[in-house]
Amino acid sequence: MLLFDRKERRKSQRPVTAKRDIKPKREKRLFCAACRHPITHLDERISMQGGHEHSFANPLGVTYRIGCFCEAKGCEPIGMETTEYTWFQGYTWRTALCANCRIHIGWRFQSGVEYFHGLIIKRLTSVGPATH
């Protein structure tokens, strides 16, 4: 018990405003790298087919590194659902654009009422819009 009291006393004697004690808060939201529009949140990450991140190539040979997210309110799925060349068995897919700047940001995969987003890692950033 005495050891605990000493540690607590040392903690209370340290200045809480010292620069070394203040850690920058890490942003948990993810934004469109092109326009900084909020897309999703790190807490929305999910594992599909054994992992959160995957590398896939489309029929033209373009390889994408994607992360899987349960929800991505900042993107908008467009086009018709298709099963052609799906990367996730049993899921249809649609292209997903940033709802703000309309850049291709990934895909929305759906199976019945269940869906998730596969978002292109390089098109996301944890740096949000500048605040003035």
In a domain, 7, yes or no: no
Mean pLDDT of the chain: 84
Query: How many other CB atoms are there within 10 angstroms of residue 101's CB atom?
Result: 12
Residue 82 has pLDDT above 50, yes or no: yes
Q: What's the length of the chain?
A: 132
The 3-class secondary structure across the chain, one letter per residue, is: CHHHHHHHHHHHHCCCCCHHHCCCCCCCEEEECCCCCEEEEHHHECCECCECEEEEECCCCCEEEEEEECCCCCEEEEEEEECCCCCCCCCEEEEEEECCCCCEEEEEEEECCEEEEEEEHHHEECCCCCCC
Residue 5: the pLDDT is 43
3-class SS at 8? helix
Nearest C-alpha neighbor of 73 from the set 34, 35, 117, 13: 117
In a domain, 30, yes or no: no
Residue found under tokens 């999910």: 46
Residue 41: the pLDDT is 96
Residue range(s) defining the domain that contains residue 115? 43-132
In a domain, 19, yes or no: no
pLDDT in tens, 107-125: 999 999 999 999 999 999 9
CATH of the domain at 91: 2.170.150.20
The domain total for the chain is: 1
In a domain, 38, yes or no: no
Interatomic CA distance for residues 52 and 69, integer angstroms: 8
In a domain, 15, yes or no: no
Residue 127: the pLDDT is 85
pLDDT in tens, 1-26: 344 444 444 444 444 444 444 444 55
In a domain, 76, yes or no: yes
pTM for the structure as a whole: 0.77
In a domain, 127, yes or no: yes
If you average pLDDT over residues 32-52, what whole number do you get?
96
In a domain, 82, yes or no: yes
